[in-house]
Structure 1
Amino acid sequence: MHPYAISALSATAIALLLSAAAGVAHAQPQKMRPGLWENTVSMKSQSGQMEAAMAQMQKSMASMSPEQRKQIEQMMAQQGVGIGPKGNTVKVCISPEQADLDNIPQQEGCTQTVKRTGPSTLAMTFSCKGAAGQPPSSGEGTMTFSGPTAYAGNFKLKTTTAGGKPELIEMAQTGKWLSADCGAIKSVR
């Protein structure tokens, strides 16, 4: 596996993570706090192919020289992406305007429906067109908030494997507000 490659399933999951985080502000009575957010997602695929691809990528990174590994990790960090043993993380900057409008833009090529099912719980469905070598995907899930700075959610994602077979991925996701200053991370467009 090429060291710069991230599996199509992982890229799709990260796109959905961003889309799900975008849905947070739509139905939240207390607005999402603007600033730097860290979203962590752990995934389990029905076939095990995604986990095998991630293990191979981590093995490839482990076999790199320390300089090469540091360069790859820095490149990913500049994009707000981290890969670790407890899950993948994505840092996202939410501008004050985006939080005020309750209309944070979605990931390109994705649509979603968000519905409040309780004072602090949202149910959502989503669908993403396949793009840039990624298969189309759809899913549903719930998010529960513990205030304007944290949430947890569970999602089921339907997609296809690289071989064209149907795939079901279960995702557990958490989000936490880190700071009002986003640093080098740019606002979601």
Structure 2
Amino acid sequence: MHKTLLALVLVSALPVSAAYSAENDMRPGLWEITTTSDLLKLASQIPPDQMQMLMNLAKQHGVDIPPIQNGAATSNVCVTRKMADQKIPPSFYQNKSGCTAQNPTHAGNKYTWDFVCANPRVSGNGTAQAVFANPENFTGRTEFEGVAQGAPVKEHADISGRWMSADCGTVKPPQ
């Protein structure tokens, strides 16, 4: 279960990038991104020392695990104007998780893309979508099927994002 949870957390970095896919449909600034899944609900069953070990392992792979509470991982992301204007997720998150986005499409307020993960930790493929209700709110979903740390994974996650402020404060945009 620990390997599977780590894999989901690594793949969960992809949903965060959904916030960037809107072309002029989102406000730049500080966004709160929340990812929920059945697998994240299991995180509460992991002893704190083992969870810290998983967080350290993820960090070694370039992924910061956001706090997980009640089956939800919530993080703050600083979105620049340039990022808000992009039509596809930035390579920062795909590179950090070892996955790449492909086949981005945009129809109205809905954005979809496929992603492929091909690395020693996680391999497989999935789909992602984001729908903007307005420039300050979106919801989305990812589906992933593959192998993580040698264990088969078939998981989905629901994502929501909400704009918090034009000022990102201490949160820096991804480099």
Q: Which of the five TM-score ranges fits, normalised by the shorter chain?
A: 0.7 to 0.9
- The answer to whether residue 136 in structure 2 is matched with residue 146 in structure 1 is no
Q: How does 1:90-101 map to 2 (within 5 A)?
A: 90-101=75-86
TM-score normalised according to structure 2 size: 0.73
- The answer to whether residue 18 in structure 2 is matched with residue 20 in structure 1 is yes
Distance 1:142 1:104 in 2: 11
Give the match for residue 3 of structure 1: none
Deviation for aligned residue 1:155 = 1.7
Identity %: 27
SS in 2 for 1:136: strand
> Does the 8 Å contact 1:35/1:94 carry over to 2?
yes
2:36 aligned partner, one-letter code = S
Deviation for aligned residue 1:101 = 5.0
1:99 aligned partner, one-letter code = A
**Unpaired stretches in structure 1, ≥5 consecutive residues:** 1-5, 62-78
Give the match for residue 122 of structure 1: 111
**1:88-128 per-position Cα deviation (integer Å, ceiling 9, x unaligned):** 11211111232245566221133213212x42112221123
Structure with more of its chain in strand, by fraction: 2
Query: Of 33, 41, 50, which aligns to 2:27?
Result: 33
Distance 1:86 1:39 in 2: 14
Relative to structure 2, which stretch is displaced further, 122-131 or 150-159?
Answer: 122-131
TM-score normalised according to structure 1 size: 0.69
Distance 1:98 1:82 in 2: 24
Distance 1:141 1:104 in 2: 11
> Does the 8 Å contact 2:130/2:140 carry over to 1?
yes
Greater Cα radius of gyration, structure 1 or 2: 1
Corresponding pairs, count:
157
